[in-house]
Structure 1
Amino acid sequence: MADPLVIKICGIKTLDILDTAIAAGADMVGFVHFPRSPRHVSIEEIANLISAARGRVETCVLLVNPDNSCVAEVAALGPDWIQLHGPESPHRVEAIRAEAGIEVIKAVPIGSAEDVAHIAGFTDVADRILVDAKPPKGADRPGGLGETFDWTLLKALDPSIPFMLSGGLTPKTVAEAIKTVRPFGVDVSSGVESAPGVKDKRLIEAFIRNARAAE
Structure 2
Amino acid sequence: MFVKVCGITNEDDALFAVAMGADAVGFIFAPSPRQVAAQTVYDITRRLPPEVLTVGVFRDELPARVIETAHRANVKAVQLHGGTKEQAIEVSGSIQWVIKAFGSDEPSLPEADQYGTDLVHLDAPSPGSGKLFDWRLASDVPDSVRLILAGGLDPDNVADAIEIVEPWGVDVATGVETSPGRKDPTKVRRFIANARAAAPTPYLGPDELPYDWGDE
TM superposition score category, shorter chain reference: 0.7 to 0.9
Q: Which runs of 5+ in 2 are unaligned?
A: 200-216
The yes-or-no answer on 1:208 pairing with 2:192 is yes
The residue aligned with 1:189 is 173
Question: Does the 8 Å CA contact 1:116/1:153 hold for their aligned counterparts?
Answer: no
Q: 1:46, 1:195 → 2: CA distance? A: 19
The yes-or-no answer on 1:101 pairing with 2:95 is yes
Cα pair distance change 1:109/1:156, threshold 3 Å: closer
Give me the TM-score of the superposition, normalised by structure 2: 0.85
Q: 2:56, 2:167 → 1: CA distance? A: 21
User: Number of paired residues?
Assistant: 198
Q: Compute the RMSD of aligned alpha carbons.
A: 1.7
The Cα offsets for residues 39-71 of structure 1, whole Å up to 9 and x where unpaired, read as: 111111011111011425211111112232342
Give me the TM-score of the superposition, normalised by structure 1: 0.85
The Cα offsets for residues 125-177 of structure 1, whole Å up to 9 and x where unpaired, read as: 12411111111xxxxxxx15111111112224333333110100000000000
Instruction: Select 1:151's aligned residue among 135, 143, 149.
Output: 135
The residue aligned with 1:60 is 55
- Counting only pairs closer than 5 Å after superposition, residues 1-215 of structure 1 correspond to structure 2 as 5-34=1-30, 36-67=31-62, 68-85=64-81, 87-98=82-93, 100-111=94-105, 114-122=107-115, 125-135=116-126, 143-215=127-199
Q: 2:49, 2:19 → 1: CA distance? A: 14
> Moved runs in structure 1, 4+ residues, more than 4 A?
none
Q: 2:72, 2:182 → 1: CA distance? A: 27
Question: Does the 8 Å CA contact 1:111/1:149 hold for their aligned counterparts?
Answer: no
Q: 1:20, 1:41 → 2: CA distance? A: 18
Question: Does the 8 Å CA contact 1:144/1:166 hold for their aligned counterparts?
Answer: no
Cα pair distance change 1:69/1:130, threshold 3 Å: closer
Q: Which runs of 5+ in 1 are unaligned?
A: 136-142
SS of 1:149 mapped into structure 2: coil
Q: Give percent identity, aligned residues only.
A: 33
SS of 1:20 mapped into structure 2: helix
SS of 1:101 mapped into structure 2: coil
The residue aligned with 1:138 is none
Question: Does the 8 Å CA contact 1:21/1:29 hold for their aligned counterparts?
Answer: yes
For 2:100, the aligned partner's letter is K
Alpha-carbon shift at residue 118 of structure 1 (Å): 3.9
Q: 1:160, 1:63 → 2: CA distance? A: 24
The residue aligned with 1:139 is none
Moved more, 175-184 or 61-70: 61-70
SS of 2:101 mapped into structure 1: strand
Alpha-carbon shift at residue 8 of structure 1 (Å): 0.2
